Amino acid sequence: MKISSSNKLTIILLLKERKGFTKRFFIYISKINFPYKIIIADGSRNKLSKNILNILKTANINYNYYKFSEDKNYNLFLNKIYKSLTYVKTKYIMLFSDDDFPIVCSIERLIKFLDRNNKYIGAGGYLINFDLYQKKTQNKKNETYGIPINFSKFYNQRSFNKKNRFDRLKFYLTEGKESGWHNIYRKKAILESYKKSRNIKFKNNFFSDWMVDSLIFIGGKIKKINVPTLLHQYHSLSEINKRPTYSMIKNNKNYIEDKKYY
């Protein structure tokens, strides 16, 4: 698929283990002829195999693979993101996980909005979450294939467009209730936010998330458009489920609903 904005956006795919999900993601973007550049930022213990990377090579997907030190803590993870951002040469950037399914036509609408509105640092839509139903005969340890069920809309289209940065921050902390992920950003804006985030030393990862998101929303206005930008699978290997802090907030239903889908 060749489109006019192919050279405007880079996708940063953040990996840590989950080889099955990574392989499925590569198969998906190969089948849809994904038009944008991909930087693969791998914080796994071992490198991806050539067989998995060949899925992209065979489909002529434009990508670069970078193996980073293992993501043993959140600071290393943030440094991996920042370093990956410095490799980007395009105008816009979008962060992805390997359990996401990008929707190209919606991404195009976000790019066109940013092309026409220089006062915004980013633009986003909403996510569609789903589960996979597996038959009793299927291998329950393999959560990458099954029958999609329980589709639900995630994130409301409420723009962070207040002129004052502290008003945007207040809106995020009191009403926004969403992550800075899954939006398209101008390179300069998101690079600056993650550069500052490297100084964050919270032991609790949720507080680190809040601080990183706060830096992004302070950085400039973000427009929300009523389009689905990706499908996201909820599963037991979600990064949020691995965190020891999850049990600390298990009785706060609203918080779990807002944060569990990273």
- DSSP character string of 3-67: -TTTTTEEEEEEE-S-HHHHHHHHHHHHHTT--SEEEEEE-SSSPPPHHHHHHHHHTT--EEEEE
How far apart are alpha carbons 93 and 241 in whole angstroms?
Answer: 26
* Per-state percent for the chain, helix, strand, coil, to nearest 5: 40, 25, 35
Which residues, in sequence order, are bridge partners of residue 129? 152, 232
> Which range (22-31, 169-178, 209-218) has the least confidence?
169-178
Higher pLDDT among residues 140 and 234, named by residue: 234
Nearest Cα neighbor of 242 from 77, 82, 42, 69 is 77
Q: What is the pLDDT of residues 97-124, one digit of tens each?
A: 998 899 999 999 999 999 999 999 999 9
User: pLDDT at residue 250 above 50?
Assistant: no
User: pLDDT at residue 90 above 60?
Assistant: yes
Identity at 31, one-letter amino acid code: K
User: pLDDT at residue 63 above 60?
Assistant: yes
Q: Residue 231 is inside which H or E element, if any? A: strand 221-233
Q: Is residue 108 part of a domain?
A: yes
SS3 133: strand
Its domain, for residue 116, covers 9-259
Higher pLDDT among residues 230 and 134, named by residue: 230
Q: Is residue 23 part of a domain?
A: yes
Q: Is residue 4 part of a domain?
A: no
Count of CA atoms in the C-beta half-sphere (13 A) of 116: 7
User: pLDDT at residue 139 above 60?
Assistant: no
Q: What is the pLDDT of residues 1-10, one digit of tens each?
A: 557 678 999 9
User: pLDDT at residue 183 above 80?
Assistant: yes
User: pLDDT at residue 254 above 50?
Assistant: no
Q: What is the pLDDT of residues 149-159, one digit of tens each?
A: 777 777 656 67
Higher pLDDT among residues 37 and 135, named by residue: 37
Confidence (pLDDT) at 162: 74
User: pLDDT at residue 256 above 80?
Assistant: no
Query: What's the CATH code of the domain at 182?
Result: 3.90.550.10
Domain count, the chain: 1
**Mean pLDDT, residues 50-54 taken together:** 95
Q: Is residue 197 part of a domain?
A: yes
pTM here? 0.83
Nearest Cα neighbor of 165 from 216, 219, 120 is 219
Question: Please, are residues 123 and 184 in contact by the beta-carbon 8 Å criterion?
Answer: yes
Q: Is residue 46 part of a domain?
A: yes
Q: Is residue 3 part of a domain?
A: no
Confidence (pLDDT) at 236: 56
Q: Across the chain, what does the average pLDDT equal?
A: 81
How far apart are alpha carbons 249 and 262 in whole angstroms?
Answer: 16
Confidence (pLDDT) at 42: 95
Q: Is residue 194 part of a domain?
A: yes
Q: Is residue 2 part of a domain?
A: no
